[in-house]
Amino acid sequence: MIRQCQLCEDIHLATFHCLDCDEDMCEIMKIGHSKAKVSKHHTIIPIPELKSVVTSPSKESSCNVCPIHNDSYRYYDEICQTRICRDCFALTHYGHRCVSIEEGFLEKKKLCEEMYKTDIIRHKDEFEELIREVERKKEELDRKYSDMKDHIQQDFKKVKQKSTIHFLFPSLD
């Protein structure tokens, strides 16, 4: 099964998967995902390794359970920017702005998508400028090449003309 990058606007082959966001991504998006403030600590793995991770029950269950209270994460604390269980909410995060884990995930996903789009646009503009610069340099080199070629041809004609005259009239030296 061919997987498509879920973060790009263009169609790219997905070669990586973020376990935290549960999204497939291409190499370009992986780089951005690894550097973005909100996702730089996410676990990103190559897609071929995904099957072994998903089938490992200890990995899957431990990432959704609070290690302090051994209870499922149910909320996302927007102030602390972390997932919390019911006990965490009642004991340490009471009064914080908390949303359901699903809502928190969707908000973070939307934020990541906006950041990636901004980065893509910024990088796209940079690449387009680099392409224009390369094209300008190529045109400049083409002009120099043409000028040099013309100059060499003129010099060759002069040398040929002088050698012909010298050959025909050796006494003119």
Residue 105 to residue 8: CA distance in whole angstroms? 19
Contact predicate 49/23, CB 8 Å: no
Residues 44/26, Cβ–Cβ less than 8 Å: no
Q: What is the pLDDT of residues 125-144, one digit of tens each?
A: 888 899 999 999 999 999 99
* pLDDT tens per residue, range 44-95: 999 888 766 544 444 444 578 888 888 888 999 999 988 999 999 999 998 9
| Cα 4 to Cα 63: distance, rounded to the nearest angstrom | 25
In total, the chain counts a number of residues equal to 173
Calpha distance 170→51 (Å, rounded):
88
pTM: 0.38
Domains and CATH numbers, the chain: 1-63 (3.30.160)
